[in-house]
Amino acid sequence: MCTHPKWQPKYGTLHARVDVLSAASPSLGIEPAADNNVMKITEKCLFIRPVSGSIYGGRSSMSWWATVVLPFIFVFFSIVEFFSYRHDTATNGYNAGAISHYMENWHYPAGITFVFFLCCIWIFIPWRTQLPIIFNRETRKVTCIIKGKWISQRYEHLEVYIKDITTIASGGAPINEGVLILAFPYAEQDKTFSNDQLRISISATKDADEAYFNRGIYGAAMILEYIRLFMHQGAGALPPSSAISNYKATSIRECFSMWSPFKIFQSKVWWKRLIAPFLFPLVAPTLWLITLGDLLYMALDRILPRKKWPQELIDACDGVWNGEE
């Protein structure tokens, strides 16, 4: 049985067994939250992203950063091109002007940016091939794809593990992240799997204040409580999204609003408003370039193909969604 998450043990792995998911078991006593882990919610189904979906896709993910850095690379090498113009005017007698010089050599910054994009293209593959974990509260089934094989099992038969993982160290202090692991001990779709292989992970929420100021295991428990609340009480009982930002830009206007440098003048902290005029010349160009990268990411999301869902996943949600917007 899972120990009460106020929290024991403080370090290591928490083990939540089947009875945590049963209808008769009490609530974990934690505020439910899921932020960008949620792909979609319908009346009967909850679609959750696995860990790979959070790492490789969406804002702040690897694919997002690989896209956002492109405008920075282009601008940087455009500045290098300007210094090349200055050198040509001083030593080679070039006198056609900076714009003409750039138009003659624009393919250098553009080419370097494109090469960087090609080097990072592998990151987009897991982003575009991610598949959800589907919780169907009517059929009481949980369905997902593990290592290319679809797995389905009754919700009450799941085993749940909450792990607190140290990922990197910053300034000598370890950074802990929570992971919610779902195990399928009774799944029978593929006999080639061992019990240890029938597992899939969900990243802990980080946006909710309770998770941000506590260890990662608290954020993972918030995800568990969110799932449990949906399966027992339905979509109407779920709280509003706790996400600080959308998983991706929903419109051009939303993108500009998200990264507007003028927000620093609207801070509720007086000293931030005081230094805003001095920071603006430094902050504004950076945020405008991030805006361009975010817009490019939105365009790529609409252009790049995505993995077609297996029919088993579509059937698992009664055909209400196949992953398309």
Q: What is the pLDDT of residue 142?
A: 96
Model confidence at 78: pLDDT above 90 = yes
Give the strand order in the sheet containing 141-146.
38-41, 45-48, 133-136, 141-146, 149-154
Tell me the pLDDT tens digit for each residue of 271-282: 888 998 999 999
pLDDT of residue 324: 84
Confidence of residue 117 (pLDDT cuts 50, 70, 90): very high
Q: Nearest-CA neighbor of 184 among 203, 166, 157? A: 157
Closest listed residue to residue 54, CA positions, set 153, 200, 256, 156: 200
pLDDT value of residue 266: 86
| For residue 166, pLDDT beyond 80 | no
Query: pLDDT band at residue 195, thresholds of 50, 70 and 90?
Result: low
Angle, CA of 130, 132 and 136, to the nearest 5° = 170
* Least confident residue range of 84-98, 117-131, 159-173: 159-173
More confident residue, 211 or 37: 37
Evaluate if residue 118 carries a pLDDT over 50.
Answer: yes
By percentage, how much of the chain surpasses pLDDT 70? Answer: 83
Q: What band does 105 get if pLDDT is binned at 50, 70 and 90?
A: very high
Q: What is the mean pLDDT of the chain?
A: 84
**Single pTM value for the model:** 0.83
The one-letter code for the residue type at 136 is N
